[in-house]
Amino acid sequence: MSLGFDVLDVLHQGKHSAVFRARYKNEIVIVKTHPLPYGTPSEVESLEREYKIGRLVMSNSAHVPRYLQIVSHQHDAKRKAVAIVMADSKGQPLSSLIPAKGFPLDTFLDIAIESVKGLRDIHRHNIIHKDVKPANMVWCTFEF
Ligand SMILES: Nc1ncnc2c1ncn2[C@@H]1O[C@H](COP(=O)(O)OP(=O)(O)OP(=O)(O)O)[C@@H](O)[C@H]1O
Ligand SMILES: [Mg+2]
Residue 56 lies in a domain: yes
- Regarding the beta carbon of 93 and ligand 1, being less than 6 Å apart is answered yes
100: helix, strand or coil: coil
Which is more confident, 138 or 1?
A: 138
Which band of pLDDT confidence, cut at 50, 70 and 90, is reported for residue 2? confident
Query: Would residue 33 count as lying in a domain?
Result: yes
pLDDT of 143 over the 80 cut: no
| Domain tally, the chain | 1
CATH of the domain at 107: 3.30.200.20
For the segment 51-86, what is each residue's pLDDT rounded down to a tens digit? Answer: 999 999 999 999 999 999 999 999 998 899 999 999
Per DSSP (E only), the strands in 1-141 are: 6-13, 18-24, 27-33, 67-74, 80-87, 92-93, 138-139
pLDDT digits (tens, 9 = 90+) for 83-113: 999 999 999 999 999 999 999 999 999 999 9
Ligand 1 atom showing the smallest separation from residue 131 Cα? 25
Asked if pLDDT for residue 39 goes beyond 60, the answer is: yes
Cα(18) to centroid of ligand 1, in Å? 8
Number of other CB atoms surrounding residue 46 within 10 Å: 16
Residue 142: the pLDDT is: 59
CA 18 to chain centre: 10
State the Cα–Cα distance between residues 34 and 42, nearest whole angstrom.
10
Ligand 1 atom with minimal separation from the 96 CA: 31
pLDDT at 144: 44
Using an 8 Å Cβ cutoff, are 57 and 125 in contact? yes
The residue nearest atom 13 of ligand 1, judged by CA position, is: 12
Residue 12 alpha carbon, nearest atom of ligand 1: 12
Mean pLDDT for all residues in the chain: 94
pTM of the model: 0.93
Inform me whether the pLDDT recorded for 141 exceeds 80: no
Is 144 within the bounds of a domain?
no
Distance 9 CA to ligand 1 centre (A): 13
What is the Cα–Cα distance from 25 to 8, expressed in whole angstroms? 13
Q: What is the DSSP letter of 26?
A: T
52 within a domain of the structure (yes/no): yes
Q: Is the pLDDT of residue 6 over 80?
A: yes
The answer to the question of residue 134 being in a domain is: yes
Q: Please tell me the residue having the least CA distance from ligand 1 atom 29.
A: 135
Within a domain: 1: no
Distance 62 CA to ligand 1 centre (A): 17
Question: 101 in a domain, yes or no?
Answer: yes
What residue numbers bound the domain in which 21 lies? Answer: 6-139
Closest ligand to residue 135's CA: 1
